[in-house]
Structure 1
Amino acid sequence: MSAPAEVPELVARALDLSRRRGFITSTRSETGRLLAALAASRTGTLAELGTGCGVGSAWLSSGAPKGAHIVTAELDPGLSKDVQGIFHDAENVEVTCGDWTVLEQYAPFSLLFVDVREVMASIDLLADLLEPGGIAVLDDFVPSPFWPPIVDGQVDTVREQWLTDERFAAVEMLIDPDASLIIATRR
Protein backbone atom coordinates (compact mmCIF):
# COMPACT_ATOMS: atom_id res chain seq x y z
CA MET A 1 0.00 0.00 0.00
CA SER A 2 1.40 3.39 -0.90
CA ALA A 3 0.90 6.61 1.00
CA PRO A 4 -0.68 9.65 -0.63
CA ALA A 5 1.94 11.63 -2.52
CA GLU A 6 0.83 15.03 -1.28
CA VAL A 7 1.99 16.32 2.07
CA PRO A 8 0.83 19.53 3.76
CA GLU A 9 2.81 22.68 2.93
CA LEU A 10 4.39 22.97 6.40
CA VAL A 11 5.49 19.34 6.23
CA ALA A 12 7.03 19.93 2.78
CA ARG A 13 8.98 22.92 4.14
CA ALA A 14 10.23 20.89 7.13
CA LEU A 15 11.25 18.01 4.88
CA ASP A 16 13.10 20.46 2.63
CA LEU A 17 15.00 21.79 5.67
CA SER A 18 15.79 18.18 6.64
CA ARG A 19 17.26 17.50 3.21
CA ARG A 20 19.31 20.71 3.25
CA ARG A 21 20.60 19.95 6.75
CA GLY A 22 21.36 16.29 5.98
CA PHE A 23 18.96 15.26 8.74
CA ILE A 24 18.02 11.73 7.73
CA THR A 25 16.01 10.67 10.77
CA SER A 26 12.96 12.87 10.27
CA THR A 27 9.50 11.65 11.17
CA ARG A 28 8.25 9.09 8.65
CA SER A 29 5.16 9.99 6.64
CA GLU A 30 3.28 7.05 8.17
CA THR A 31 3.98 8.38 11.66
CA GLY A 32 3.23 11.93 10.54
CA ARG A 33 -0.17 11.03 9.15
CA LEU A 34 -0.98 9.25 12.42
CA LEU A 35 0.12 12.35 14.36
CA ALA A 36 -2.13 14.55 12.21
CA ALA A 37 -5.08 12.21 12.76
CA LEU A 38 -4.52 12.11 16.53
CA ALA A 39 -3.98 15.89 16.67
CA ALA A 40 -7.35 16.38 14.99
CA SER A 41 -8.99 14.85 18.08
CA ARG A 42 -7.13 17.04 20.58
CA THR A 43 -7.64 20.47 22.08
CA GLY A 44 -5.38 22.50 24.32
CA THR A 45 -1.61 22.16 24.10
CA LEU A 46 0.24 19.61 22.01
CA ALA A 47 4.01 19.18 22.16
CA GLU A 48 6.92 17.54 20.39
CA LEU A 49 10.03 16.50 22.31
CA GLY A 50 12.81 16.11 19.75
CA THR A 51 12.17 18.88 17.21
CA GLY A 52 14.97 18.19 14.77
CA CYS A 53 13.89 20.00 11.60
CA GLY A 54 10.27 20.33 12.70
CA VAL A 55 8.70 17.55 10.63
CA GLY A 56 6.75 16.09 13.57
CA SER A 57 5.47 19.51 14.62
CA ALA A 58 4.45 20.25 11.03
CA TRP A 59 2.38 17.05 10.96
CA LEU A 60 0.81 17.94 14.33
CA SER A 61 -0.03 21.41 13.01
CA SER A 62 -1.56 19.98 9.84
CA GLY A 63 -4.13 18.03 11.85
CA ALA A 64 -4.67 20.19 14.94
CA PRO A 65 -8.01 21.95 15.25
CA LYS A 66 -8.27 25.71 15.36
CA GLY A 67 -7.34 26.94 18.82
CA ALA A 68 -4.92 24.11 19.64
CA HIS A 69 -1.40 25.26 20.51
CA ILE A 70 1.73 23.30 19.53
CA VAL A 71 5.05 23.80 21.32
CA THR A 72 8.43 22.30 20.55
CA ALA A 73 12.00 22.92 21.71
CA GLU A 74 15.24 22.51 19.80
CA LEU A 75 18.60 22.50 21.61
CA ASP A 76 20.70 23.69 18.63
CA PRO A 77 20.27 27.50 18.34
CA GLY A 78 20.98 27.57 14.59
CA LEU A 79 18.55 24.76 13.85
CA SER A 80 15.98 26.30 16.20
CA LYS A 81 16.15 29.53 14.19
CA ASP A 82 15.72 27.63 10.91
CA VAL A 83 12.71 25.75 12.29
CA GLN A 84 11.21 29.00 13.58
CA GLY A 85 11.47 30.24 9.99
CA ILE A 86 9.41 27.30 8.75
CA PHE A 87 6.62 28.17 11.18
CA HIS A 88 6.83 31.97 10.86
CA ASP A 89 3.26 32.20 9.57
CA ALA A 90 1.81 29.29 11.57
CA GLU A 91 -0.03 30.92 14.45
CA ASN A 92 -0.54 27.65 16.30
CA VAL A 93 3.15 26.59 16.54
CA GLU A 94 5.74 27.94 18.98
CA VAL A 95 9.39 26.89 18.56
CA THR A 96 11.67 27.53 21.51
CA CYS A 97 15.41 27.08 21.89
CA GLY A 98 16.49 24.78 24.70
CA ASP A 99 16.31 21.19 25.83
CA TRP A 100 12.98 19.42 26.22
CA THR A 101 12.56 20.50 29.85
CA VAL A 102 11.77 24.08 28.75
CA LEU A 103 8.43 22.70 27.58
CA GLU A 104 7.39 21.69 31.11
CA GLN A 105 6.03 25.21 31.62
CA TYR A 106 3.39 24.56 28.91
CA ALA A 107 2.05 21.34 30.48
CA PRO A 108 -0.33 19.64 30.79
CA PHE A 109 -0.38 18.32 27.23
CA SER A 110 -3.29 16.70 25.46
CA LEU A 111 -0.85 15.09 22.98
CA LEU A 112 2.87 14.58 23.44
CA PHE A 113 5.07 13.30 20.60
CA VAL A 114 8.36 11.95 21.97
CA ASP A 115 11.09 11.31 19.43
CA VAL A 116 14.11 11.12 21.78
CA ARG A 117 14.93 7.68 23.16
CA GLU A 118 16.67 8.98 26.31
CA VAL A 119 13.60 11.05 27.20
CA MET A 120 11.24 8.08 26.70
CA ALA A 121 12.99 6.36 29.62
CA SER A 122 11.71 9.15 31.91
CA ILE A 123 8.18 7.72 32.08
CA ASP A 124 7.39 9.33 35.44
CA LEU A 125 8.29 12.81 34.21
CA LEU A 126 6.41 12.35 30.95
CA ALA A 127 3.33 10.95 32.70
CA ASP A 128 3.19 14.09 34.82
CA LEU A 129 3.23 16.24 31.67
CA LEU A 130 0.06 14.63 30.28
CA GLU A 131 -3.46 15.63 31.22
CA PRO A 132 -5.89 12.81 32.08
CA GLY A 133 -6.86 11.29 28.73
CA GLY A 134 -3.73 12.79 27.16
CA ILE A 135 -1.91 10.76 24.55
CA ALA A 136 1.83 10.08 24.32
CA VAL A 137 3.21 8.92 20.96
CA LEU A 138 6.69 7.40 21.24
CA ASP A 139 8.55 6.90 17.97
CA ASP A 140 11.45 4.90 16.56
CA PHE A 141 11.07 1.40 17.94
CA VAL A 142 12.33 -1.67 16.14
CA PRO A 143 9.62 -4.34 15.94
CA SER A 144 10.16 -7.41 18.11
CA PRO A 145 8.14 -10.63 17.86
CA PHE A 146 9.13 -11.53 21.44
CA TRP A 147 7.89 -10.70 24.91
CA PRO A 148 9.57 -9.15 26.61
CA PRO A 149 10.67 -7.22 23.51
CA ILE A 150 14.23 -8.03 22.48
CA VAL A 151 16.32 -5.64 20.38
CA ASP A 152 20.00 -6.23 19.63
CA GLY A 153 20.01 -9.18 22.02
CA GLN A 154 18.71 -7.18 24.99
CA VAL A 155 15.32 -6.54 26.57
CA ASP A 156 13.93 -3.20 25.40
CA THR A 157 13.11 -1.96 28.90
CA VAL A 158 11.75 1.39 27.67
CA ARG A 159 9.12 -0.29 25.49
CA GLU A 160 8.35 -2.86 28.19
CA GLN A 161 7.85 -0.10 30.76
CA TRP A 162 5.44 1.93 28.58
CA LEU A 163 3.40 -1.11 27.59
CA THR A 164 2.95 -2.34 31.17
CA ASP A 165 2.64 0.87 33.22
CA GLU A 166 -0.81 0.93 34.87
CA ARG A 167 -1.12 4.70 34.39
CA PHE A 168 -1.54 4.12 30.65
CA ALA A 169 -3.62 2.16 28.19
CA ALA A 170 -0.89 1.52 25.63
CA VAL A 171 -0.42 -0.28 22.33
CA GLU A 172 2.51 -0.82 20.00
CA MET A 173 1.74 -0.20 16.32
CA LEU A 174 3.75 -1.44 13.38
CA ILE A 175 4.08 1.45 10.93
CA ASP A 176 6.50 -0.23 8.53
CA PRO A 177 8.18 -3.65 8.49
CA ASP A 178 11.19 -2.12 10.25
CA ALA A 179 9.51 0.45 12.51
CA SER A 180 6.91 0.65 15.25
CA LEU A 181 5.69 3.22 17.72
CA ILE A 182 3.78 3.25 20.99
CA ILE A 183 0.56 5.10 21.64
CA ALA A 184 -0.14 5.48 25.37
CA THR A 185 -3.23 7.20 26.76
CA ARG A 186 -3.04 8.54 30.32
CA ARG A 187 -5.79 7.00 32.45
Structure 2
Amino acid sequence: MSAPPELPEIVTRAFDVSRKRGYASFCRNETGRLLATLAATRAGTLAELGTGCGVGTAWLRSGIREDATIVSAELDAKLAEAASEIFKGDDQVEVVAADWSTLRDRGPFSLLFLDAREPKDSGADAIVDLVEPGGVVVLDDFTPCSSWPPVYEGRVDILREQWLTDDRFTTVEVMVAEDASVLIATKR
Protein backbone atom coordinates (compact mmCIF):
# COMPACT_ATOMS: atom_id res chain seq x y z
CA MET A 1 0.00 0.00 0.00
CA SER A 2 1.40 3.39 -0.94
CA ALA A 3 1.24 6.53 1.18
CA PRO A 4 -1.28 9.25 0.33
CA PRO A 5 0.06 12.08 -1.83
CA GLU A 6 1.86 14.86 -0.03
CA LEU A 7 -0.05 18.02 0.70
CA PRO A 8 0.80 21.04 -1.43
CA GLU A 9 2.98 23.49 0.49
CA ILE A 10 0.31 26.23 0.39
CA VAL A 11 -2.22 23.83 1.97
CA THR A 12 0.26 22.87 4.71
CA ARG A 13 0.70 26.58 5.49
CA ALA A 14 -3.07 27.03 5.70
CA PHE A 15 -3.40 24.06 8.08
CA ASP A 16 -0.65 25.56 10.26
CA VAL A 17 -2.55 28.87 10.45
CA SER A 18 -5.77 27.02 11.30
CA ARG A 19 -4.08 25.09 14.12
CA LYS A 20 -2.44 28.22 15.56
CA ARG A 21 -5.80 29.98 15.56
CA GLY A 22 -7.55 26.98 17.11
CA TYR A 23 -9.84 26.84 14.10
CA ALA A 24 -11.04 23.28 13.57
CA SER A 25 -13.57 23.80 10.79
CA PHE A 26 -11.90 23.57 7.41
CA CYS A 27 -12.01 21.89 4.04
CA ARG A 28 -11.20 18.17 4.18
CA ASN A 29 -8.27 16.91 2.10
CA GLU A 30 -10.58 14.76 -0.04
CA THR A 31 -12.67 17.81 -0.92
CA GLY A 32 -9.52 19.87 -1.34
CA ARG A 33 -8.06 17.54 -3.92
CA LEU A 34 -11.33 17.75 -5.84
CA LEU A 35 -11.20 21.56 -5.63
CA ALA A 36 -7.64 21.63 -6.95
CA THR A 37 -8.65 19.38 -9.84
CA LEU A 38 -11.65 21.52 -10.73
CA ALA A 39 -9.64 24.75 -10.37
CA ALA A 40 -7.18 23.42 -12.94
CA THR A 41 -10.02 23.35 -15.49
CA ARG A 42 -11.20 26.94 -14.98
CA ALA A 43 -10.13 30.32 -16.33
CA GLY A 44 -11.33 33.70 -15.07
CA THR A 45 -12.27 34.35 -11.48
CA LEU A 46 -12.90 31.62 -8.92
CA ALA A 47 -14.50 32.46 -5.58
CA GLU A 48 -14.96 31.01 -2.14
CA LEU A 49 -17.70 32.12 0.23
CA GLY A 50 -16.50 31.62 3.79
CA THR A 51 -12.70 31.56 3.82
CA GLY A 52 -12.19 30.51 7.42
CA CYS A 53 -8.41 30.30 7.81
CA GLY A 54 -7.87 29.71 4.10
CA VAL A 55 -7.59 25.92 3.72
CA GLY A 56 -10.18 25.71 0.91
CA THR A 57 -8.63 28.74 -0.76
CA ALA A 58 -5.21 27.07 -0.51
CA TRP A 59 -6.55 23.94 -2.19
CA LEU A 60 -8.02 26.07 -5.00
CA ARG A 61 -4.67 27.89 -5.27
CA SER A 62 -2.78 24.60 -5.54
CA GLY A 63 -4.62 23.79 -8.77
CA ILE A 64 -5.32 27.20 -10.30
CA ARG A 65 -4.19 28.04 -13.83
CA GLU A 66 -2.08 31.07 -14.71
CA ASP A 67 -5.06 32.76 -16.41
CA ALA A 68 -7.26 32.62 -13.31
CA THR A 69 -7.61 34.41 -9.99
CA ILE A 70 -9.32 33.64 -6.70
CA VAL A 71 -11.31 35.97 -4.47
CA SER A 72 -12.45 34.68 -1.10
CA ALA A 73 -14.75 36.40 1.40
CA GLU A 74 -14.70 35.82 5.17
CA LEU A 75 -17.06 37.63 7.53
CA ASP A 76 -14.79 37.22 10.58
CA ALA A 77 -12.14 39.92 10.15
CA LYS A 78 -9.57 38.08 12.31
CA LEU A 79 -9.90 34.90 10.25
CA ALA A 80 -9.72 36.90 7.01
CA GLU A 81 -6.53 38.58 8.25
CA ALA A 82 -4.99 35.20 9.11
CA ALA A 83 -5.91 33.79 5.68
CA SER A 84 -4.56 36.89 3.95
CA GLU A 85 -1.14 36.22 5.46
CA ILE A 86 -1.00 32.83 3.72
CA PHE A 87 -1.39 34.49 0.33
CA LYS A 88 0.65 37.64 0.97
CA GLY A 89 2.41 38.65 -2.25
CA ASP A 90 0.31 36.26 -4.37
CA ASP A 91 -1.29 38.23 -7.20
CA GLN A 92 -3.70 35.40 -7.98
CA VAL A 93 -5.43 35.32 -4.57
CA GLU A 94 -7.35 38.01 -2.71
CA VAL A 95 -9.00 37.49 0.67
CA VAL A 96 -11.56 40.09 1.68
CA ALA A 97 -12.94 40.64 5.18
CA ALA A 98 -16.60 40.97 4.25
CA ASP A 99 -19.91 39.20 3.97
CA TRP A 100 -20.05 36.95 0.90
CA SER A 101 -22.75 39.12 -0.66
CA THR A 102 -20.13 41.83 -1.27
CA LEU A 103 -18.71 39.56 -4.00
CA ARG A 104 -21.84 39.98 -6.12
CA ASP A 105 -20.15 42.86 -7.98
CA ARG A 106 -17.07 40.71 -8.68
CA GLY A 107 -18.87 37.90 -10.53
CA PRO A 108 -19.96 36.03 -12.35
CA PHE A 109 -17.47 33.36 -11.32
CA SER A 110 -16.20 30.37 -13.26
CA LEU A 111 -16.04 28.29 -10.06
CA LEU A 112 -17.69 29.01 -6.73
CA PHE A 113 -16.91 27.03 -3.56
CA LEU A 114 -19.09 27.33 -0.50
CA ASP A 115 -19.98 25.57 2.68
CA ALA A 116 -23.50 24.16 2.78
CA ARG A 117 -24.01 24.76 6.51
CA GLU A 118 -26.16 27.87 6.00
CA PRO A 119 -29.07 26.84 3.74
CA LYS A 120 -30.40 30.39 3.36
CA ASP A 121 -27.05 31.50 1.93
CA SER A 122 -26.26 28.42 -0.16
CA GLY A 123 -29.52 27.73 -1.98
CA ALA A 124 -29.54 27.89 -5.76
CA ASP A 125 -31.65 31.07 -5.74
CA ALA A 126 -29.00 32.93 -3.72
CA ILE A 127 -26.15 31.64 -5.90
CA VAL A 128 -27.41 31.42 -9.49
CA ASP A 129 -26.41 34.97 -10.52
CA LEU A 130 -22.92 34.57 -9.04
CA VAL A 131 -21.95 31.87 -11.56
CA GLU A 132 -21.31 32.26 -15.27
CA PRO A 133 -23.01 29.92 -17.78
CA GLY A 134 -21.00 26.69 -17.70
CA GLY A 135 -19.61 27.71 -14.31
CA VAL A 136 -19.26 25.20 -11.49
CA VAL A 137 -20.56 25.40 -7.93
CA VAL A 138 -19.07 23.12 -5.26
CA LEU A 139 -20.94 22.76 -1.97
CA ASP A 140 -19.30 20.72 0.76
CA ASP A 141 -20.17 19.35 4.19
CA PHE A 142 -22.84 16.86 3.19
CA THR A 143 -23.24 13.41 4.68
CA PRO A 144 -23.71 10.79 1.93
CA CYS A 145 -27.32 9.76 1.37
CA SER A 146 -28.62 7.05 -0.95
CA SER A 147 -32.36 7.60 -0.43
CA TRP A 148 -34.80 9.83 -2.29
CA PRO A 149 -35.76 12.28 -1.19
CA PRO A 150 -32.42 12.85 0.52
CA VAL A 151 -32.63 12.65 4.30
CA TYR A 152 -30.29 14.10 6.93
CA GLU A 153 -30.81 13.60 10.67
CA GLY A 154 -34.28 12.16 10.11
CA ARG A 155 -35.57 15.02 7.94
CA VAL A 156 -35.72 15.72 4.24
CA ASP A 157 -32.55 17.57 3.28
CA ILE A 158 -34.25 20.44 1.49
CA LEU A 159 -31.01 22.14 0.42
CA ARG A 160 -29.64 19.01 -1.21
CA GLU A 161 -33.00 18.24 -2.82
CA GLN A 162 -33.22 21.78 -4.19
CA TRP A 163 -29.79 21.63 -5.82
CA LEU A 164 -30.36 18.15 -7.28
CA THR A 165 -33.66 19.18 -8.90
CA ASP A 166 -33.01 22.80 -9.95
CA ASP A 167 -33.39 23.12 -13.74
CA ARG A 168 -30.81 25.94 -13.90
CA PHE A 169 -28.05 23.51 -12.90
CA THR A 170 -26.93 19.99 -13.66
CA THR A 171 -25.94 18.66 -10.25
CA VAL A 172 -24.41 15.48 -8.91
CA GLU A 173 -23.60 14.33 -5.39
CA VAL A 174 -20.11 12.87 -5.12
CA MET A 175 -18.80 10.94 -2.13
CA VAL A 176 -15.32 12.15 -1.31
CA ALA A 177 -14.98 9.88 1.74
CA GLU A 178 -17.07 7.25 3.48
CA ASP A 179 -18.63 9.95 5.67
CA ALA A 180 -18.54 12.99 3.37
CA SER A 181 -19.98 14.11 0.09
CA VAL A 182 -20.12 17.27 -1.98
CA LEU A 183 -22.51 18.58 -4.57
CA ILE A 184 -21.03 19.68 -7.88
CA ALA A 185 -23.39 21.79 -9.97
CA THR A 186 -22.79 23.21 -13.45
CA LYS A 187 -24.88 26.20 -14.49
CA ARG A 188 -26.77 25.54 -17.72
> d(CA) in 1 for partners of 2:180 and 2:82?
28
Q: What is the Cα deviation at residue 67 of structure 1?
A: 2.2
- The C-alpha deviation readout for 1:80-123, integer Å capped at 9, x for no partner, is 111111100221000001111111111000000011422213x1
Runs of 4+ in 1 over 4 A off after TM superposition: none
Question: SS at 2:59's partner residue?
Answer: helix
Stretch of structure 1 that moved more, 2-11 or 135-144: 2-11
Q: Which residue of 1 aligns with 2:89?
A: 89
Distance, in Å, in 2 between the alignment partners of 1:103 and 1:2 is 41
- With over 3 angstroms needed to count, the CA separation of the structure-2 counterparts of 1:168 and 1:36, relative to structure 1, is same
Alpha-carbon distance in 2 for matches of 1:76, 1:116:
18
TM-score by length of 2: 0.95
Q: Which residue does the alignment assign to 2:160?
A: 159
Instruction: Report the CA distance between 1:146 and its aligned residue.
Output: 1.0
Aligned partners of 1:36, 1:163: CA distance in 2, in Å?
Answer: 23
Compared with structure 1, are the counterparts of its residues 145 and 2 closer, same or farther at alpha carbon in structure 2 (3 Å cutoff)?
Answer: farther
| Structure 1, 76-85 or 26-35: larger mean CA deviation | 76-85
Q: Tell me the equivalent position of 2:23.
A: 23
CA, structure 1 residues 116+170, in 2 after alignment: closer, same or farther (shift >3 Å)?
closer
Match of 1:100 in 2: 100
2:122 equivalent in structure 1? 120
Q: How many residues align?
A: 186
Shift of 1:16: 0.6
Deviation, structure 1 residue 3: 6.8
* Amino-acid identity (%): 58
Cα distance in 2 for partners of 1:80, 1:32 equals 19
The match for 1:138 is 139
Tell me the SS of whatever aligns to 1:117.
Answer: coil
Measure, in 2, the Cα distance between the counterparts of 1:8 and 1:44: 22
Tell me if structure 2 keeps the 8 A contact 1:110–1:133.
Answer: yes
- Alpha-carbon RMSD across the aligned residues, in angstroms, is 1.4
* AA in 2 matched with 1:157: I
Structure 1 counterpart SS, 2:181: strand
CA contact (8 A) 1:171 1:184 kept: yes
Displacement of 1:5: 3.8
Alignment of structure 1 residues 3-82 onto 2, 5 Å: 4-82=4-82
Superposition TM-score, scaled by structure 1 size: 0.95
Runs (5+) with no aligned partner, structure 1:
none
Q: CA deviation at 1:134?
A: 0.1
- The 5-angstrom pairing of residues 160-175 of structure 1 reads 160-175=161-176
8 A contact 1:113–1:138 mirrored in 2: yes
SS in structure 2 of the partner of residue 58 of structure 1: helix
Partner of 1:150: 151
Q: Which residue of 2 aligns with 1:183?
A: 184
Judge conservation of contact 1:3–1:30 (CA < 8 Å) in 2. no
Which amino acid is 1:31 matched to? T
Q: Which consecutive unaligned segments of at least 5 residues does structure 2 have?
A: none
